[in-house]
Amino acid sequence: MEQKPIDFYGGEVLLVDKPLNITSFGAVNRIKRAFIQVTKKKRYKIGHAGTLDPLATGLLIMCSGKKTKTISTFQDLPKEYTASIILGASTPCYDLEMEVDKTYDISDITEKQVIECAESFVGEQDQYPPIFSAKKIEGKRAYDLARAGEEVKMKPNRITIYEFEILEINLPEVKVRIKCSKGTYIRSIANDFGVKLNNGAYLTNLRRTKIGEYDVENAYSIEEIQQRIFDSEFTPLS
């Protein structure tokens, strides 16, 4: 499908398919550099509506120019993810960024228990973010405090899980689809999933597929959006 030229002045809402092993901030910066290169400006306004961890892929909505004023409207929309959870072990950060620190016996866990556990998450609830997260505590990032060996006490967020579907059970792996409110940490859901089963669990794969009605199927890679910027004509205002 042919893409329209970039509106450098009015701004754009860009649907980006964020790749693995890059921060959301890093993805924004790569696209921002393309805008700066084309416009020859020292600065160009662009931001994203909802962080994805480096180990997560999928839909990242970016707003440029005057459209940055609309970022909050996208941040408030529900999010949808597909994820893989491994039972029988845990990590301090609840995902693959750190090594397994505890292992558990999963021989007594049944498929019925897994399905019932997923169902128990649906609804409004308090959720504690991971201590290895970007949440700020008295002006400092929680992960900086945790890595420095300091005690980290997280405050709970009020979140809503709208849907929690089990896609596949192949123990120790469980593949899921989750629709949730803003501010939800899927890593915390993975960890809590293990706790509810009197076991351990951590996240091994995470992909954001939707933000509201915006679908990752309609998103473009960073390279494709950069090329769209380079292909668009920019005429400085007189």
- Element (DSSP H or E) covering residue 161: strand 157-170
CA-based nearest residue to 18, from 227, 228, 231, 223: 223
Burial of 138 (0-12, 13-18, 19+ CB in 10 A): exposed
Q: Which of the residues 17, 53, 95, 192 is marked catalytic?
A: 53
Residues in the chain: 238
Cα 75 to Cα 77: distance, rounded to the nearest angstrom: 6
Distance from first CA to last CA of the chain, Å, rounded? Answer: 33
Q: How far apart are CA 103 and CA 227, in angstroms?
A: 46
Q: Are 94 and 142 in contact (CB under 8 A)?
A: no
Determine whether 53 is an active site residue.
yes
Q: Do the beta carbons of residue 2 and residue 220 sit within 8 Å?
A: no
Bridge partner list, 34: none
Q: Identify the bridge partners of residue 108 per DSSP, sorted by sequence position.
A: none
**How is residue 125 written in tokens?**
């609830």
Place of tokens 């397994």: 100
> What are the angstrom distances between the C-alpha of 68 and each of 5, 55, 100, 148?
18, 26, 40, 35
Residues taking part in catalysis: 53
